[in-house]
Amino acid sequence: MLTVRGLSWKLAGGRTLLDNVSFSVREGEFVGILGPSGAGKTLTIRAIVGLTAVQSGECVFTGEDGNDCDTIRVRGEGLRIARRQIGMIFQGLQLVKRLTALENVMIGRLGRVSPLRSWLYGFTDGEAREAMQVLDRVGMAAFADRITASLSGGEMQHVAVARAIFQQPRLYLADEPIANLDPGNASEIMRLLQSLSREALVVGAFHQPEMTSRFCTRVIGIRQGAVVYDGPPRLTIAQLREIYGAELEGLRGAEATHA
């Protein structure tokens, strides 16, 4: 279980970026966070993984040792241990483009490998086979030896998901993972995330309510840093307007999907 409670962050000039953001995620849920640009979606994701230091609040999830970990308060080695159990999938991919797809996947487990071992001989043949199995799971086994820079955007995002899977996390966080993808690749990534929710917690920030309505089990709406909706994924037009305001008119497919 993941519990996010009271995340707050206000700039010195008085502007509020996060305003008491609170929610919980239980086993089997695929939770999508929706909101207009600048609403606080990415800040919330970054706070959960400990990449953004908020002024108050807590993000607690149960680790592989059965103990609870608060990524807001833990520091040093404790934070590194917590991050090993959080698989991040970024909009910007964060892949090493000069490496092969298979090598990028194996990087996902570097946090579990001692520095000495990684320097001396890296990963074992068994781990390479595991990474190939993960690539096969996301439909990318045939591209294992391809240099990542030669892949399309959709193919690279599949590799990024495979890297997160190979990490063997307890929690997956996806920050706008389908923002730059065509509808076909976007649907494939959403199906993969949906399947992962049967194995671990999955929370993603999205800007496509038509996709969250199809694949997520629950939606959280954030506007001006505050949670304004938390409930079923298929929202009414009125609920979408409460979340997006004037920006709703520019959302592709929102009117048709939620009419």
Rounded-to-integer distance, Cα 146 and Cα 67, Å? 40
Query: How confident is the model over 13-39, as pLDDT tens digits?
Result: 888 899 999 999 999 999 999 999 889
Q: Residue type at 216?
A: C
Distance in angstroms between the alpha carbons of the first and the last residue of the chain? 33
pLDDT digits (tens, 9 = 90+) for 61-79: 877 677 778 888 877 777 7
Q: At what angle do helices 183-196 and 153-166 cross, to 10 degrees?
A: 10
Residue 258 has pLDDT above 60, yes or no: no
- Other CB atoms within a 10 A radius of the CB of residue 203 amount to 26
Q: What would the 3-class secondary structure string for the chain be?
A: CEEEEEEEEECCCCCEEEEEEEEEECCCCEEEEECCCCCCHHHHHHHHCCCCCCCEEEEEEECCCCCEEECCCCCHHHHHHHHHCEEEEECCCCCCCCCEHHHHHHHCCHHHCCHHHHHHCCCCHHHHHHHHHHHHHCCCHHHCCCEHHHCCHHHHHHHHHHHHHHCCCCEEEEECCCCCCCHHHHHHHHHHHHHHCCCCEEEEECCCHHHHHHHCCEEEEEECCEEEEEECCCCCHHHHHHHHHHHHHHCCCHHHHHC
- Residue-wise pLDDT for 201-237, tens only, equals 999 999 899 999 999 999 999 999 999 999 999 999 9
Query: Do 143 and 99 meet the contact criterion of CB atoms below 8 Å apart?
Result: no
Give the best-scoring range by mean pLDDT among 67-71, 126-130, 250-254. Answer: 126-130
- pLDDT for 151 equals 94
Query: Residue 113: what pLDDT?
Result: 61
Task: Give pLDDT, residue 256.
Answer: 46
Please state, in angstroms and rounded to a whole number, the distance separating the CA atoms of residues 223 and 107. 35
| CA–CA–CA angle 83, 85, 90 (5° rounding) | 65
Question: For residue 120, what pLDDT band results from cuts at 50, 70 and 90?
Answer: very low
In this structure, what are the phi and psi dihedrals at residue 246, rounded to the nearest 5 degrees?
Answer: -65, -25
**Ordered structural domains, the chain, with CATH:** 2-85+172-258 (3.40.50.300), 99-168 (no CATH)
How far apart are the C-alpha atoms of 49 and 34, rounded to whole Å? 18
